[in-house]
Structure 1
């Protein structure tokens, strides 16, 4: 099992489609509520759920969860369609033939889904059924709504932490501060006689797999947006703190050495992942890596820990970044009442969440599911459950230009790593300007 992410360019194209999608497709009212909803949902019917998982074990997880749902709602038949991505969902909505339920791997399109009406407002159903959203942590609630409108629910979550190769760590404890991480990265790095990297203690480049700005930001408490949606990147000193630390470590390795090493590594989602192969001693990654290591069959002795944090912000230690899979009812759904019953089961009822978590090895999103004795966990998975539950754990808030903003900042950091940015303050100000100009074009 592993998580699958849509490339930024593809998501950007999806977002462009979303802007015009609110005027296309079949019009439909929100799900009925109260007695009418109960009567309609009680009628024999078939609902179709599209999801992005495709591996046999992942598909079976959904089948098992739906089977449990079927015992509660025997009159509702669920048709599952696997391997569906956001662009296919949007095209179906525009064409007037959407599924009753759609699930997405990324939270980057939540603002688009809610703002354009592509996904239906779930609050009438939530209120009618007296669903207590406080069972969801505040950070999860924040990435599943936009401007007060809730058009999706969280299905499962991802949390990010540090993986450590026990053999390569050679008895050193997990670093807790950025200084400790940099010192240990240097200590554990092995070079060839010509200076090329043979084993990296830790790769600081944002071009390395999961080292995105959003995943690294919690290490310093980086803030993305002001209350009005404008960029806070240039004005928040936390980002400068992170980038100066990162650049010092990149320079120690040598940017050209990092690039040569990085380009020779195995694929992130394959058994040739460099952490699996002992080419990287410490790596930032999500909870799903535990399952990938187990399923690969390799004999790898490793541990997990929270990400190190800024030396002057010890209170952040134990926290991290979270996001996750979302699920909702597309505009034009033929059976929204029955669709809501399935969504409610999968996202708020402990049995459904635990069934999916145990099979997919992602983090369940309610307090009850996290505490369930049926939830399978060991010490390495528990690390991510603790990160998810930490009060200072954060996410990337929903934003109408989420992908553009992330891409803009990532591109800047790549130039910063290469030594092409001479004035950090001026460069971050340009990032702010690009993000704010795009927001004005979007009507923000």
Structure 2
């Protein structure tokens, strides 16, 4: 899940569009999301089932390899693969009544809308009929693949974040170990930062701007064990001492270097998923990024000397070694004409240990089965192991699903982008943020 998942604003905007389309679909469709199923699963599977997914290029080949395993196990079944289909395309196709069987999404943000609208079928009847044990799925992953107790998706790999750091830059600056606290992150970041003769930034130790690469509220939430909503769906961001402390820490960091200077430097950096990524080139010495970065570096900058470590935290607030987790989710489309084949394919991609390991080894994403995380066939080096350990941490958490596609994350991001530039009365701004999120949540409905 690489290209689309890297922009929180785009994820939540597209998810919100999908939510609107999904609600229209629900209004126009007949029947229930919990359509009646055969009480006895077919003993032999035959026919063609379609799989829509967002991967392209090399990564699409990895999915094809996993699907080949399913076809070999089921000789009478052919999987018709539609690659390069992002969430917006998937939603439009489902809404228009196209015969889509299994849809694989890059965003957990769609779960609330797709479950509540019926765009993806309720999987409970299949799970109950076949006595499927979901205990192999970590708790946080089980949390983000259902909405208000309704399970319309299963997971298919995840992303977790860690701190990546340039060993050569650390040695040059006399830093012997990665930072564990926010104060250490700032101190090391400033020490690693170098300047040109004109005062412009030459190398940035750590980029504190919230709109740089993976810097977003959810990717930073592990710094404070951040929470977003209460049990009733109301925003708790503005009431959280942790969020306030993190915002103030970040603003102080930005101001110490200079917002305009940081923006000028950042505007000249390479694209996140291109070979000239700023961490690849050494222009940024530390960054928060996902496990997939290890695969990009191996492919695009194999001689880079770097290490990985858990995200630094606010002492006494954040849990060092945990993180925010999200990932790919897959479901059976409402209009599927082959629900039994779809269920079999979905189970294979989500619940088969070997399939998970095949995809994880190829994509360098994190398996969403405990058995796959512990598998001897999972290809793990010291750098990737950091992410595996973080994914298995019992305090690793996720963000709650909402029927509007988790739009509160986009609202928080826009708030933060304005804050880092303008500053002001933080308490007042946080109260307004809660009000804005609550108002949007009420409009979105239950």
Normalised-by-shorter TM-score class: over 0.9
Asked if the contact 1:117/1:331 (under 8 Å) is kept, the reply is yes
Mapped contact 1:27–1:332 kept (Cα < 8 A): no
Distance 1:283 1:260 in 2: 18
What are the residue-to-residue correspondences of 1:29-108 with 2, within 5 Å? Answer: 30=35, 32-35=37-40, 37-38=41-42, 42-55=44-57, 57-108=58-109
Name the CA distance, whole Å, in 1 between partners of 2:359 and 2:87.
21
In structure 2, relative to structure 1, the CA distance for the partners of 1:295 and 1:2 (3 Å cut) is: farther
Query: What are the ranges of 5 or more consecutive residues in structure 2 without an aligned counterpart?
Result: none
The TM-score, its normalising length taken from structure 2, stands at 0.95
- Aligned with residue 379 of structure 2, among 363, 376, 380: 376
Q: CA deviation at 1:382?
A: 0.6
Structure 1: distance between partners of 2:412 and 2:95: 31
What is residue 228 of structure 2 aligned with on the other side? 224
Corresponding residue for residue 391 of structure 1 = 394
SS of 1:281 mapped into structure 2: strand
Q: Secondary structure at the match of 2:54?
A: coil
Alpha carbons 1:370, 1:385 under 8 Å: kept: yes
Q: Which residue of 2 aligns with 1:366?
A: 369
- SS of 1:325 mapped into structure 2: strand
Are 2:286 and 1:282 equivalent residues in the alignment? Answer: yes
SS at match of 1:201: strand
Q: Tell me what 1:318 maps to.
A: 321
TM-aligned CA deviation for residue 402 of structure 1:
4.1
2:331 is aligned to: 328
Distance across 2 between alignment mates of 1:71 and 1:84: 25
Q: CA deviation at 1:308?
A: 0.3
TM-score scaled to structure 1, two decimals? 0.95
Figure out how many residues of one structure are paired with residues of the other and give that number: 438
Q: Deviations over 1:243-272 (max 9, x none)?
A: 111111101110011100010100011001
Counterparts in 2 of 1:111 and 1:181: CA distance versus 1, 3 Å: same
| Pairing 1:343–2:346 present | yes
- SS of 1:209 mapped into structure 2: coil
Secondary structure (helix, strand or coil) at the match of 2:132 reads coil
More displaced, 404-413 or 332-341? 404-413
Task: Find the counterpart in structure 1 of residue 310 from structure 2.
Answer: 306
Please list the CA deviations of residues 29-71 of structure 1 after superposition, one character each: whole Å capped at 9, or x if unmatched. 6362432x325xx25210000000011x222212221121123
Contact residue 18 and residue 113 of structure 2 kept, 8 A: no
Alpha-carbon distance between aligned partners in 2 of 1:266 and 1:15, rounded to the nearest angstrom:
33
Comparing 291-300 and 422-431, the one that deviates more: 291-300
Q: Give the alignment partner of residue 212 of structure 1, picking from 216, 226, 236.
A: 216
1:438 aligns to 2:443 (yes or no): no
Alignment check: 8 A CA contact 2:158 2:328 kept: yes
2:117 is matched with 116
Contact 2:242–2:317 under 8 Å retained in 1: no
